Amino acid sequence: MIYGLIFMVPIAPFGIYGEVATGAQGMVALAYVIGMIGMIFTALSYARMSEAIPYSGSVYAYAQHGINDTAGFFGGWLILLDYIFVPALLYLVSAAALADIVPEIPIIVWLLIFIGINTVINVLGIEFTAKTNKYILIAELIVLVIFVVAGIIAVAQHANGAEFTFKPLYDKEHFSMATVMGAVSIAVLSFLGFDAVSTLAEESKGGRKAIGNAIIGALLLVGVMFIIQTWVAALIWPDFTTFENVDTAFYQIAEIAGGTWLKWTTIIATVIAWGIADALVAQAAISRIIFSMARDRKLPHVLSKVHPKFKTPFIATIVVAVISFIVTMFFSAQIGQLASVINFGALTAFLLLHVSVINFYIRKKKSTNYFSHLVLPAIGFLIIGYVWINLDILAKKLGFIWLGIGIIYFIYLKVTKKDTKLEQ
């Protein structure tokens, strides 16, 4: 659960609050409520598959066993697009923020520091990673509590014209489903990462249901935190049309709630949460997916090597670090494009996951539990499909290019018979 909470980042709305608030016409809390409900159906599909298939490959393993080996390859290929670029995005955003605060230090120095710290921690093992994450999570929660308390006091004192209202949850004057769902397509990105818990299936000690319980529990907890903090923020700054800068809107609100010290506290907390904590678990997740695919020889087999002492996929972890550095250099001035690619990979993989649940339980296992194994994943598919349709054109173009590369690589594996699963 700690791993999942860290990956989603309890203070994630700090960084995208302005965009969600303006997109939702002020109903920012409602956007997060709908986003959480939508993601719950995907979390339930992860829970069902993690119980039946306790392997560390996430969607790769679930599609492989739930549908067939070809589906598994493309499930893994798509989720690679998400996970392999996520650490780079997190490093880039955090390093850029620090470079702005301390311009004397080049951004490349911050990138090397972040990547170096996280790579060492991940090689030392998942237990060491979990312990590190506990301290960072506690720090995030402390900052969140401080903001909420300061915010409630500010509302009670009517700072900036604040007063208690349900408008952040529902504003009859501005409400329209199309408007809110447009904002949900942004807000839902804060939830991406709960699925990464499934990559630890072979390292968890709580039995087959531990992974599913952790996924659902982390999602519900972080969802409640998202709703509370955005509701309080919306009360303090009720006019969502007057932000000086939507990218820093939350920090403006924090300054009203507690002063300059709270503004800088939330900024620094965001940098640490993304650059260290979130990137740490992202690197751990993708290294295990790469390990799982390499073990089945869908990627170079050397990537499946496990450290003799720490029992971690250290080669894959180091490779992810190198890729992250290269990607940050390439996308240093194109953060928006990088985020678009990530969205395509995650949402497309989620669609394949829901199909895997239905095929595995209904067709292969002849399950008669139609509610859990057909209705719920079908609803999840429709919700994710709606969000996928609303992705911008650039995300789809880059995503299909990645998919095309995957098709070529798949044909190469089949022709050369380097994939042991394909041979069978």
Reported as a single tens digit per residue, the pLDDT across 277-299 is 888 877 887 788 788 878 888 88
280 neighbors 9 (Cβ within 8 angstroms)? no
User: Nearest 10 degrees: CA dihedral of 26, 28, 31, 36?
Assistant: -170
Cβ pair 16, 248 in contact under 8 A = no
- pLDDT band (50, 70, 90) for residue 333: low
In which residue are the tokens 């702005």 written? 100
- Listed residue (404, 414, 417, 418) closest to 77, CA to CA: 404
The C-alpha torsion from 346 through 349 and 354 to 360, rounded to 10°, is -150
Q: Which DSSP category does 277 fall into?
A: I
Instruction: Name the pTM for this structure.
Output: 0.79
Q: Per-residue pLDDT for 27 more than 60?
A: yes
Kindly indicate the confidence band of residue 99, based on its pLDDT and cuts at 50, 70 and 90. confident
Counted residue by residue, the chain has a size of 424
Greater model confidence, 119 or 89: 119
* Residue 185, CA distances (Å) to 249, 388, 395 in order: 19, 8, 13
pLDDT digit string, tens, across residues 235-257: 999 988 888 877 778 889 999 99
pLDDT for the residue 382: 92
pLDDT at 141: 94
DSSP states of 30-54 as a string?
HHHHHHHHHHHHHHHHHHHHHHH--
State residue 381's pLDDT score. 94
Whole-angstrom distance, CA of residue 155 vs CA of residue 166: 13
Residues 6+ apart with CB under 8 A from 308: none
CB 318 within 8 A of CB 306: no
DSSP string for residues in 318-380: HHHHHHHHHHHHHTTT-HHHHHHHHHHHHHHHHHHHHHHHHIIIIIIS----HIIIIIHHHHH
Residue type, 5: L
- Tabulate helix, strand, coil % of the chain (nearest 5): 80, 0, 20
pLDDT at 395 over 90: no
Q: Is it the case that residue 423 has pLDDT exceeding 70?
A: no
